[in-house]
Each structure stands twice: as structure tokens, then as C-alpha cells.
Amino acid sequence: MSSSKQLFTDEAQPLKRSSSYEIMPPDMSELRVVVLGNSWSERSSVGNFILGKTEFNTEEAPDCCLRVRGQLKEKEIVLINTPDLLLPNISEDKLTEFIENCVSLSDPGPHVFLLVLHPEDFTEEHKKRLQTILELFSDQSFDHSLILISPHREESSGFMENYMNHPPLKEMIRMCRYRYLKQKNLELPELLTRLGQIVKENNGEHLSCDVCKNSATALPDDQPNPTQMENILDADETAGTSRMESSTSYHCK
């Protein structure tokens, strides 16, 4: 496993292949992951990859946050997939509303932000928008973030070999403490191991979200949110070495 010092250098490399399958400290029973990025299709594909089955529709982006709960061996993983928050036409009020919804679905707080970024489509405007979003959650969000770099569409161009020279992506990688993986040829244990490393680096603690401080009293603790609906799904399929059980929550307005 790479040391913390190595992770904070410009020469840091993606996590190498690992046979480890422990993603959380023994005293943790649930890992909550918020998925952000500049492509709904790619975010959903990554979510389905983690769950080992198709839970997210990759074709049609909803105007809401979606939560899927799955069981991985004896641990639970909760994925909160977000709508396309990097679009410039989303107002500040609407953006805050989306983030508050996301915080509600990840209560009491997310452990990791998984940033699924496609270098070709990740512009300077996207970088600034994503930075704003993470800061709205908390100024500590970058310490809980992992970048997953999507494959380049045309391998012959050599773009992926030079992605660190792509200014918006390079700067985002720096802000996320050089925590990143390449999606190409990525295997599930590698990704889960890296998520677990981030949890351990933060002493197993979830993020305390700043945005929820202003809305903490919006609803009584025992009062269900009327905009949240639970739909329990059967999960008899087996994915790799794990049996996944999942439920999907929709949080829309």
C-alpha cells in the first residue's frame, strides 16, 4: 500500500492491482459513496460496475439524486448517484437543493466522493463548478475524494498518456491530494481497496456536511421526507465474489 507521503507528490501513481477485498475498517458496517462527474452515463456505468448489476439507467439522466444500497460480503455499500450538477444552467438555489437532497440520502454523511471525470469533456468551467459543489458539501470534501479517470475515446491519439497536462483535470487531481485511478482495465477489488484506503486515511469518519447545518431543522427526525420514496428491489444475482442485495431510493422534486 502506498504511503500518505507518496500520495501527495506529482509523481504519485494510480493504485496498483491488489487482491485485498476489505473496503472498510472492521468496526464499520456501511460505506456511503457520492458519485459526481461530468457524464451521467459514465457515473451510472461505474455505479453498476461497483454493484455488479444494472441498477442505474445509463441512457436517461434523472432530475434527482438516486440511492442504491448493496451488500458486499458482510458489509453494506450505499451509492448516491447525482444528476448532471456541472451543467451551467443550474441555478445556485437549485444546486443547493440538489446537494441538500444528496446529504439527506447519505445521512449522517458520505465517506467518499467518487469523481468520475472524462478528460476530453472536463473543461475549466466544469472544474470550477465541481470545486464549488464539493465546497458546498464541506471544505473537507477534497480529503474524502477519489478521481476515477474515464478512458479516452481514441486510444491512438495518445491523450490519456498526457492527461496530467490537461490543466482542469491536473488541477482537480491536485486538489484531491493526487488520489486517482484510471478506469481502463480497472478491476473491482482495486477500486474497493482504494475507497477503503480513503476511509482509513480519514480515521473511518464520515464527512460532516456544512450545507445540512442550515437545513437540519427543516424536518423532524422522525418525520419521513415526502419527496423520498423507497423501492425495494430483488437481488438474487451474484456479482464476482459477492452477493449483492440492493434497494433504490429516489429523491426528486
Domain boundaries along the sequence of the chain: 4-252
List pLDDT tens digits, range 131-186.
999 999 999 999 999 999 988 766 545 555 566 678 999 999 999 999 999 998 99
The Cα 130–Cα 152 span in angstroms is 20
Angle, in degrees to the nearest 10, between helices 188-201 and 40-51: 90
List pLDDT tens digits, range 163-175.
667 899 999 999 9
Mean pLDDT for the chain overall: 78
The Cα 164–Cα 170 span in angstroms is 5
* Architecture label for domain 4-252: 3-Layer(aba) Sandwich (3.40)
Alpha helical stretches, state H, 138-176: 167-175
The Cα 19–Cα 12 span in angstroms is 21
Q: Tell me if the bond preceding 224 is cis, omega within 30° of 0.
A: no
* Residues 6 or more apart whose Cβ sits within 8 Å of residue 8: 177, 178
Contact 170, 136 (CB under 8 A): no
Q: How many CB atoms lie within 10 A of CB 211?
A: 17
Structural element, H or E, at residue 180: strand 180-182
List pLDDT tens digits, range 204-253.
999 998 765 544 433 333 333 433 333 323 333 333 334 344 555 555 55
